[in-house]
Amino acid sequence: MRFDLIVVGAGLCGATVAERAARQLGMSVLVVERRRHIAGNAYDEYDEHGLLIHRYGPHIFHTNSERVFHYLSQFTSWRIYQHRVRAMVDGQLVPLPVNLDTIAALYHVSVDEPRLQSLIQQDIMAVPRVENSRDVVMSRMGARVYEKIFKNYTKKQWGLNPEDLAPSVCGRIAIRMNRDDRYFTDRYQGIPSQGYTKMVERMLSHPNIHILLGTDFRELRGSIDYDTLVWTGPVDEYYDFRFGKLPYRSLSFQLAYHDSEFVQPVATINWPNEYDFTRVTEMKHLTGQFHSKTVLMYEFPQSDGDPYYPVPCDESQRLYLQYQTLARKEERVHFLGRLGTYQYYNMDQVVAQALHFVDTVLGR
């Protein structure tokens, strides 16, 4: 058997490469996926009650890239949705990202209080060089916000202190001196109307694309001929962990069903300081489903299990660079995606990366 292109992994990154290679470049493509379904971590499906569940955690699409949004819009229409998150702090639900209402609640003053901005300014610490996730929060939001919202959540989520994580981790969460309580402010935001799996199914539906599910590529090595291989699995795994295992943070998900339409005021409630879980998401806020039942998804961080998050810290970066050096020497093999390039990427970023790869390498 021979293909122009083999794509390992049927997540959003792999699906974008496969789709463009087949439709735009006319290549024959084999997609190999070790799970029994497509769509990678964005996979969603209906459960036994008819509720649509994001099986690997809540996924909200957001981007400022017109190109990425228009590209995906060929395969789906969108449910317009703006994500809202609250954090449970000392028994109060406060908006996240931190905004004027959050500051008022944490400092026990009215939101009309004219000193609101100076209250937080007093707590902000001058950090000459922002080197880690503690620095980034202390220098932007100050000690109170750090202690109440970031310190313990980050320890739970990563199993590391914020001091040991790159600034980019906590730097994902902004502070706003207004009352905007949307989690994301990107120009395009939404959820695929019929779900992510349907969207990816349409991307991969082409006579030139063959899909092999439930198959680890390593079982096929040597038995299929190809010109180019795109690997979107963990980069260290491709090299049989030659330099040691890259750390990935994993999660376990627990579902709780309720016989009512809604139980949370917003989609996600973060629990920075209590319990072993980090956040609880009520899927129906995202999907917009009408149903007499509702389901909550609890996220419990753990070190073992499926690799969900690359861990942005100095040590893992040093190890990744060793793998990256090997990867750059490959002529026929290219590494892409959140796991293949060991980057804490959102969905739009892996699609952008895949489109760029097709422009600059595959279609050259």
Residues in contact with ligand UDP by CB under 6 A are 87, 96, 149-150, 153-154, 157, 169-170, 172-173, 270, 272
Partner interacting with residue 308 (select from ligand UDP, ligand FAD, none; CB below 5-8 Å by kind):
ligand FAD
217 sits near ligand FAD (criterion: CB under 6 A): yes
196, burial (CB in 10 Å: exposed 0-12, middle 13-18, buried 19+): buried
Dihedral (Cα; 262, 268, 271, 277), 10-degree rounding: 90
Partner interacting with residue 154 (select from ligand UDP, ligand FAD, none; CB below 5-8 Å by kind):
ligand UDP
Instruction: Answer yes or no: are the C-beta atoms of 60 and 183 closer than 8 Å.
Output: yes
Return all residues near 337 (Cβ < 8 A) that are at least 6 apart: 9, 11, 13, 14, 232, 345, 350, 353, 354
Residue from 97, 162, 190, 233 binding ligand FAD (CB under 6 A): 233
The reply to whether omega before 97 is within 30° of 0 (cis) is yes
Q: What is the pattern of x (binds ligand FAD, CB under 6 A) and - over residues 320-359?
A: -----------------xxx-----xxxx-x---------
Hunting for tokens 């804490």 — which residue is that?
Answer: 344
User: CA torsion sign, 316 to 322 to 323 to 328?
Assistant: positive
Find the shortest distance in angstroms from Cβ 74 to ligand FAD.
18
Cβ atoms within 10 Å of 52's Cβ, excluding its own? 21
Q: Pick the stretch among 4-12, 84-92, 134-142, 145-153 that binds ligand FAD (CB under 6 A).
A: 4-12
Find the shortest distance in angstroms from Cβ 351 to ligand UDP.
16
Q: What is the pattern of x (binds ligand FAD, CB under 6 A) and - over residues 46-65?
A: ----------xxxxxx----
Q: What is the pattern of x (binds ligand FAD, CB under 6 A) and - over residues 248-277?
A: ---x--------------------------
Q: What is the CA angle 149-150-152, rounded to 5? A: 95
Helix (H/G/I), strand (E/B), else coil: 242: coil
CA–CA gap between residue 246 and residue 236 (Å, rounded): 6
17, burial (CB in 10 Å: exposed 0-12, middle 13-18, buried 19+): buried
Find the shortest distance in angstroms from Cβ 109 to ligand FAD.
32
In terms of CB distance, is 334 or 338 closer to ligand UDP?
338
14 sits near ligand FAD (criterion: CB under 6 A): yes
Find the shortest distance in angstroms from Cβ 132 to ligand UDP.
11
Q: Pick the stretch among 5-13, 96-104, 256-264, 312-320 that binds ligand FAD (CB under 6 A).
A: 5-13
CA–CA gap between residue 277 and residue 279 (Å, rounded): 6
In terms of CB distance, is 41 or 208 closer to ligand UDP?
41
Cβ atoms within 10 Å of 8's Cβ, excluding its own? 27
197 sits near ligand FAD (criterion: CB under 6 A): no
In terms of CB distance, is 132 or 281 closer to ligand FAD?
281
9 sits near ligand FAD (criterion: CB under 6 A): yes
Could you give the C-alpha distances from 176 to 120, 134, 299, in angstroms and in order? 12, 18, 26
Residue from 13, 21, 72, 149 binding ligand FAD (CB under 6 A): 13
Residues at the contact surface with ligand FAD, assessed by CB under 6 A: 8-14, 32-35, 40-42, 56-61, 216-218, 232-233, 251, 308, 337-339, 345-348, 350
